[in-house]
Chains A and B, each alone.
Chain A
Amino acid sequence: MEDVLVYGLLRGGIYALAAFGFSLVLGVIGIVNFAHGALVVFGGLLTQYLAVKFGVPYAAAMIGGALGTGLLGAVIQRLFVARTFTLEPLMVLVQTFGIATVVTELGTLGWGSEERMLRLKTGLPPGFMLGDTFVPSFDLVVFAVSLVSAAVLFVVLGRTEFGRAIRACRDNRESAQLSGINLGRTFEKTMFLSGTWAGLAGAMFVTLSPVAPYMHFSWTVDSFLVITIGGLGSMLGALVGGLVFGVLSFGASFYAPTIAPAITFGVLLVFLVFRPQGLLGAGPAIRK
């Protein structure tokens, strides 16, 4: 039981990292970005490519992968989403689904369809005992990065001018525009931030497990589950949701592996019925 809790929380850090951007885009731009999983995978593969092909040190490759993904997110926003996000939600959903397919196919063309992983020599000890549980060192590093990056995101959103603009756009677009905030630019920056954090999640995950273009959809679904549990549009909710989802999915896979997906989706249904705003959401997601 202790093992399940510890390993679930460690995995939850990555899920939260991936879900921050998904939650941000949903809260600010008001769209369900089905291309989000493709951004996570893109970040992982770009990091691996920079490290293996050009010998870039991992820390630099990770930053490059995250920023490159952020840039891709901003391009997607400027070229596609900016032109359609005011349309019917279904149209935007289909559009982002199409973008995910295009990004995945281009990724396959460029990097191939095979799974890739980045092996790191950290010099760290293999791990340490926490009670009766063996905790791998690098898992803990990844978890710490998740928490630190969450803190950075909170600071950016809560303490900077850019964060204030984002929050203003989220709360009331018309008032934000009347206050001189450029809606289009703010949305682009939001998508950049979302992509950067998605890319960071991919960059971390590629050191733990193989990543391939075809895996994008499960990341989108997992991110969706995380913010449904944690609270739609809430950053703190994404963090808590990620940790809860990590424990939940790990427990389901451990105790009942053959029906694990049914269990996690069952919990999603329970949340949607009894607490649609999630654990920390202020209210049900309503399209502005």
Chain B
Amino acid sequence: MLDRAAIPRRPSRRAVLKGGVLGAGALAVGVALPRIAGAAGGADGVVHIGASLPLTGPYEKVSRICKDAFDFWTRTYDGKMVVAGRERAVKWTIYDDENNASRAAQLTEKLISDDKVDLVVGTYGTDTVLAQGAIVRKHGRVFVQAGASSIRVDEELGGHTAFTANGRVGTYCAGAMDFLASRTPKPKKLGLVIMDDPVYHEIGQGVKDKCKQHGIDVVTEVVLPMNVQDLRPTALKLRGAGQLDIVYNTGWDVICIKLAEEMSAIGVNPKAFVGGHLTTSPVVKETLGSKMQGIIGSTVWLPQFKYRDDKYASAQEFAEKFKATYGYLPTYQAAFSYILPYIYQQALREADPQDPFNPKTLRDRLSRLDLKDTIWGPVSFDERGRIRRDAAPAVQWTGDPAAAVIVAPADMAESAGVYPKPAW
């Protein structure tokens, strides 16, 4: 006998319609709710900040510092930002762009279109920042960044889309070169090591311009591929150039270490060695040990700098609190990452309560910003959206154990510096 109860019943037409209406309703509510919530976010007491960082890959270490600095800013201000005269809770969304330009563009699109962030802060690395900027520009928005210092940012995005809180890389060498040019006897011959990438060529061009200005000959210029492993051939080339007064490395911390090691191994002893803009990276001192004596580095920020803001009486105090929180001293990447939300906060403090994140008014406010006291130093932007800053100070490692002291510019110098440096 046929058991009708066991046969699945076809739903009636009424039930199908009812289900359809309910389903469509649920879908509509599901789609609309986040939008309603998102729209209410800015007005309802939440400032949503979006960012991507190369959390994996070659910039992993630096990215962690940047991320910690975002967190440190949030802690410093108790997770709140004053926007249009009202204190609002801060919410961060940070993705890993893997130092991949396409990925950075894709994630920025997601941040703006899906996550509905109110503000975007820049990632780290020229190509990724440019890719990010292209998306921000497509949406008619603006963003503040410090992770790319190349002049390409000014040319492609400057002023209308990107506001760059870091000086141009071409100026990184200025403090060190001015310091060395003022030594007696004046250096005459320089050997230049450049990594084969537009940013590093830009740094190298800055060195060459300074050499021209000071009458120093660039007697040898070695261009290295970005994936170079062995620096002995480079040291040999430098040795072949005769007695050099200065060797200038435009590369990063590991290149600085390897170059110093190889020059030392085969007896290349320039009177000055400029390790580049990442010489302050702790790994350089830890690895080179006593060979740090006399090495010069350029840096855009150090805790010794006489900077302050409304929360910290000095950059030193900022650095100590940061170290107490994360277990390491903040590098310049920490300082410039901390400053990004800070700049937004200052620009938005008196924004229009009706539409505080309006891109046009935000752009105008950033252009007019003129901050005297921040942990990053004075902040104002030129017409290309670039912070007004002409030179990176120079530091030199002296003493036992070697410690970094500022040697240039003169108004910031803590020491007269050493030239020629001791042999390796």
Contact = CB atoms under 8 A, between A and B. Distances in A.
A250 interface: yes
A138 B228 CA distance: 22
Interface in B312-358: none
A6 to B, nearest CB: 10
Nearest to B237: A254
Contacts of A254: 233, 236-237
B227 A261 contact: yes
Could you say which of A3, A209, A218 has the most chain B C-beta atoms within 10 Å of its C-beta? A209
Interface string A131-161: 0001010110000000000000000000000
B283 A209 contact: no
Contact of A253 (B60, B233, B261, B283): B233
A210 B254 contact: yes
B228 A218 contact: no
Given A4-B236, A115-B254, A258 B287 contact: no
A53 to B, nearest CB: 14
B234 interface: yes
Contacts of A253: 228, 230, 233-234
Given A210-B254, A257-B234, A258-B223, A113 B60 contact: yes
B267 A113 contact: no
B225 A260 contact: yes
A38 to B, nearest CB: 16
Interface in A120-138: 126-127, 134, 136, 138
A139 B225 contact: no
B58 interface: yes
A136 B265 CA distance: 6
Given A11-B230, A210-B258, A218-B227, A257 B61 contact: no
Nearest to B229: A218
B387 interface: no
A258 B224 contact: yes
Contacts of A77: none
A257 B258 CA distance: 16
A92 to B, nearest CB: 26
B266 interface: yes
A223 interface: no
Contacts of B369: none
Could you say which of A4, A136, A139 has the most chain B C-beta atoms within 10 Å of its C-beta? A136
Contact of B283 (A114, A119, A257, A261): A114
Contacts of B232: 7, 11, 250
B352 to A, nearest CB: 45
A215 to B, nearest CB: 8
Contacts of B228: 253, 257, 260
Contacts of B234: 253, 257
A116 interface: yes
A136 B61 contact: no
Range, interface on chain B: 20 to 34
B222 interface: yes
Contacts of B379: none
A190 interface: no
Interface string B213-250: 00000000011110111101110110000000000000
A257 B236 contact: no
B257 interface: yes
A258 B61 contact: no
Interface in A249-263: 249-250, 253-254, 257-261
A202 B196 CA distance: 28
B60 A209 contact: no
B289 interface: yes
Contact of A116 (B58, B60, B258, B287): B287
A208 interface: yes
Interface in A160-190: none
Contacts of A261: 225, 227
Given A11-B232, A117-B287, A136-B266, A258 B258 contact: no
Nearest to A215: B229
Nearest to A118: B287
Contact of A208 (B196, B254, B261): B261
A3 B60 CA distance: 37
A11 B265 CA distance: 13
Nearest to A138: B265
A19 to B, nearest CB: 15
Contacts of A212: 254
A139 B235 CA distance: 15
B222 A257 contact: yes
Contacts of A138: 265
B404 to A, nearest CB: 18
Contacts of B261: 117, 208-209
B265 A214 contact: no
B257 A115 contact: yes
A268 to B, nearest CB: 16
Contacts of A258: 196, 223-225
Interface string B270-302: 000000000000010001010000000000000
Contacts of A259: 225
B54 to A, nearest CB: 12
Nearest to A7: B232
Interface string A243-287: 000000110011001111100000000000000000000000000
B116 to A, nearest CB: 34
A144 B229 CA distance: 22
B280 to A, nearest CB: 14
Given A214-B58, A257-B222, A257-B228, A7 B236 contact: yes
Nearest to A139: B265
A250 B233 contact: yes
Contacts of B225: 257-261
B193 to A, nearest CB: 10
A42 B133 CA distance: 40
B301 to A, nearest CB: 20
A259 B258 CA distance: 20
Given A7-B232, A250-B233, A254-B233, 13 more contacts: A114-B61, A115-B253, A117-B261, A117-B287, A136-B265, A138-B265, A218-B229, A254-B236, A254-B237, A257-B225, A257-B233, A258-B224, A261-B227
20 contacts: A4-B233, A113-B60, A115-B254, A115-B257, A117-B257, A119-B287, A126-B267, A127-B266, A127-B267, A136-B265, A139-B265, A210-B254, A210-B258, A214-B58, A215-B229, A253-B230, A257-B225, A259-B225, A260-B228, A261-B227
